[in-house]
Structure 1
């Protein structure tokens, strides 16, 4: 992982007076400048020309007091990297721009250096914006981070993503704006910016690593783009237009997918969420794919699911059963009409999962939930037994199968119960187990049907707030009625009565 250090070098604008009041009223515009031709042109244009920074004004001059420069020295090219930093320092001094320099150092475990360096740069820019907004009192949403991406970069990224097999989001390539990050040079090619600098007599720094075609971008730039340009000299602008269309359509589908995701969501907790698999299966496949990707990203924003992962999950959904291991170790599992995603950490702690009856469910922390069906023998006082268990303070409860909808009370089933048999449907029961959720309400046993917040019951039981998330809650379904708060109280609606013929014994025990 890279380590980062920061250094500020502020240069006063020649002839400037106290600009504190003005700076407090102006949101910062941070220019990301490496010293290459594109970013050098960005700095010159920001100081001397007009740019569209997506602030509603269109193409307009940027107030000089708003401008700040960020340079990140990655120290990947030795003295050449230090030369880039010196060049940017001199350029900022020449134009009187405040400069922040960050130093990043990469170890051997950084993996994809290009991707890691990009993440460091954007993280540094966001951090710098936060600091500047805190100093001036400007709203962060009004700030801008400007990068020097060109239509050449956009076309190269499009082709790179096409080679790698990206979907619409990847093929839409580099957007003009993402939140406060804007790219005002996206309609200009690299060649046009080089010509601009030459006209103005402004030198720039060359990165010799840009010639190394072992990097995919450089291969596309030096081997693919020249061939394509032989058939279409305006290929960058042509691809750019296609990217605009793809970007607009991708944004629209993302909006539809987010709405569909919310309609499918049944439960969400740290590192885990549950979707309605039947509703997901009924969605258009283009929306269903995006819903799965959204779910994975909600579990782990850093996960990189590929199309094959998404298709495997949807295959399980279509079949109504099955499981898939996804990137970042996420487990996706379809059971009983629900699609559950769980991160490794969530599987180690209190789970959110179905328990079949009979069945056992690991709860984490060395605990196990055991559920068993029990036929009520003739002459057995099941009500008394349920009260005794509750009074003993054990982590055990008896609930009525018929009240849960898994057994009936017609004459045939009553006869089966009188013979000590368990009806077939009572053996197919399942209950949902997770933790307490905000707004949970139940009808505690012994309160004659009056409702009460689960949080209040946990408080009365003197369970520390820090431990409440680990209290198992048994429900009829994800987000359904509370059947039992383990070790605290069962629900009046599912209590055993004199008419009970099949009961479920629920116990929390130490795992073997």
Structure 2
């Protein structure tokens, strides 16, 4: 097996030879064998062990075993102890998911702070099959069927070509010692149930199960590459970006052979789960939307609009915030807002017709000014027009989408609109022949 791993690294993972490697070592069979193999291949390795404190004295004995192994092999080792149950409770996670988050967060910290090039884990061919079956049982796309990646960012799994039987046979031949995790025998977890009850039956039906599965995954990987190439071409035709909003052309999507499949591939990275609802947006009324925990998809006339779900206070505003409003005192020259920077300066003449600049009669303003988001019932007197106009009607005439309307902010004086910021000024504050002080207000947008 040592020679086989050497050949595998030479052929597929040559970048490991001169790299600083951190091995995730539990003390179990797989990670112990990986540690011995890498040590015998004279790779530059350091060990990292997590004590999750879930099995009482057994967890402490695992830690002691790892310390002894590191000492015997003269390898540096890092050990971290976690209160996994409290972390799971506080974050509303299962014990398994909590342990996963804790260990990978810690591994990432070690890699980044100490300059390791790669983290090695001991996942093998049987783990890959288990993951495939778990994803298949829960429902998944092609990504879930292609299994565990051998090289994913800075995490490398050099043992994936080898079966659990091969690993155990090597350990017994070399008289290696390892720790048995008693929880691995319990079938209350899906992975263990598959490992102990389902996969042995599959292997009994076909002894070449793992080899055939590996071939199938290679075919799936090839299919995945073809799909990714096709999606990249479709994406250029149906997707555009405007003002940080990703737009999907509905008319072009509907012309595709299977819009649901294409929408899944285009949107799978944005955490949507209700795919029937996503597809139904293509024929829904404007304003209908579907949300994930990170993004929102909105139907707007000819487009589906994708935006990130953010806290309204996350934009880094440095002014006083009162009921979603910004207060502006008279002497202010510059104001950071959620939508950009506003500049205030007295002017001698009117020389700009840009939508991001207005000139107003300063004496007509009553301080403090207020910046707020628009609400139903708001109206103003658009500069250059007669009469007043409701903002809702103005937005409709301007063909603003729901997303666009949510981004509209108003500059007001005594609750009267001075400026629909970046769009239209109110004529009640315009400069006229009686104006003595001209105030220039400019928006420097941040993207």
Range into which the TM-score falls when normalised by the shorter chain: 0.5 to 0.7
Deviation at 1:320, TM superposition (A): 5.9
Q: Which whole-Å deviations, capped at 9, do the CAs of 1:362-398 have from their partners, x for residues lacking one?
A: xx8259xxxxxxxxxxxxxxxxxxxxx9634679673
CA shift digits 1:103-147 (9 cap, x unpaired):
2222124412212222222222222121222xxxxxx7xx22111
Change (3 A) 1:427 1:228: closer
User: How many angstroms apart in 2 are the aligned matches of 1:429 and 1:489?
Assistant: 10
Q: Which of 379, 382, 392 is the equivalent residue of 1:398?
A: 382
Three-state SS of the structure 2 residue aligned to 1:391 is: strand
Rounded Cα–Cα distance in structure 2 between residues aligned with 1:428 and 1:124: 54
Per-residue CA deviation, residues 400-443 of structure 1 (Å, 9 max, x unaligned), is 79xxxxxxxxxxxxxxx9xxxxxx999765225879xxxxxxxx
8 Å CA contact 1:266–1:274 kept in 2: the answer is: yes
Change in Cα spacing, 1:91 to 1:126, as seen in structure 2 (3 Å) is: same
Q: How far does residue 282 in structure 1 lie from its aligned partner after superposition?
A: 4.2
2:155 to 164, 181, 198: 181
Tell me the alpha carbon deviations over residues 125-177 of structure 1, each in whole angstroms, 9 at most, x when there is no partner.
222121222xxxxxx7xx22111111111111111111111111111111111
Structure 1 length-normalised TM = 0.58
**Is the 1:72–1:102 contact (alpha carbons within 8 Å) kept by the matching residues of 2?**
yes
User: What is the alpha-carbon distance in structure 2 between the residues aligned to residue 349 and residue 485 of structure 1?
Assistant: 24
Pairs within 5 Å for 1:290-369:
290-294=265-269, 296=270, 303=271, 305-306=272-273, 309-319=274-284, 321=286, 323-328=288-293, 330-342=295-307, 344-346=309-311, 365=324
- What is the DSSP-based 3-state SS (H/G/I as helix, E as strand, rest coil) of the residue aligned with 2:82? strand
Q: TM (normalized to structure 2)?
A: 0.65
Structure 2 match to 1:38:
30
Q: 1:266–1:276: 8 Å Cα contact kept in structure 2?
A: no
SS class of match (1:68): strand
Q: Which residue of 2 aligns with 1:360?
A: none
- Which protein, 1 or 2, shows the higher relative CO under an 8 Å CA cutoff with sep ≥ 6? 1
Instruction: Go from structure 1 to structure 2 and tell me whether the alpha carbon gap of 1:347 and 1:292 turns closer, same or farther (over 3 Å shift).
Output: farther
How far apart, CA to CA, are the structure 2 residues paired with 1:170 and 1:95?
Answer: 37
Q: Tell me if 1:98 matches 2:90.
A: no
Cα drift, residue 42 of structure 1: 0.4
Residues 74 and 103 of structure 1 are in contact (CA less than 8 Å); yes or no, is this contact kept in structure 2?
Answer: yes
- Contact persistence 1:320–1:337 (CA under 8 A): no
Where 1:111 maps in the other structure, the secondary structure is: coil
Aligned counterparts, 1:226-245, within 5 A: 226-245=200-219
Cα 1:166–1:487, aligned 2, differ >3 Å: closer, same or farther? closer
Q: What corresponds to 2:242 in structure 1?
A: 267
Q: Distance in 2 between matches of 1:219 and 1:153?
A: 13
Output the CA distance in 1 between the equivalents of 2:154 and 2:65. Answer: 27
The equivalences for 1:378-417 within 5 A come to 391-392=360-361, 398=382
Range 241-250 or range 210-219, more displaced: 241-250
Q: Distance in 2 between matches of 1:122 and 1:398?
A: 56
Task: Report how many aligned residue pairs link the two structures.
Answer: 339
**Paired residue secondary structure (1:174):** coil
Does the alignment pair 1:126 with 2:108? Answer: yes
* 1:80 and 2:42 are equivalent in the alignment: no
The equivalent residue for 1:165 is: 139
Indicate the larger mover: 114-123 or 200-209.
114-123
Q: Is the 8 A contact 2:247 2:305 kept in 1?
A: yes
Alpha carbons of structure 1 residues 425 and 92: separation in structure 2 relative to 1, 3 Å: closer
> Structure 1 CA distance, aligned partners of 2:285 and 2:32?
56
Q: Equivalents in 2 of 1:282, 1:349: separation in Å?
A: 39
Flag the 1:40–1:425 CA change in 2: closer, same or farther, 3 A: closer
Tell me the distance in 2 between the aligned counterparts of 1:426 and 1:237: 62
Q: Tell me which residue corresponds to 2:420.
A: 486
Query: Secondary structure of 2:293's match?
Result: helix
**In the TM superposition, what are the counterparts of 1:150-161 in structure 2 within 5 Å?**
150-161=124-135
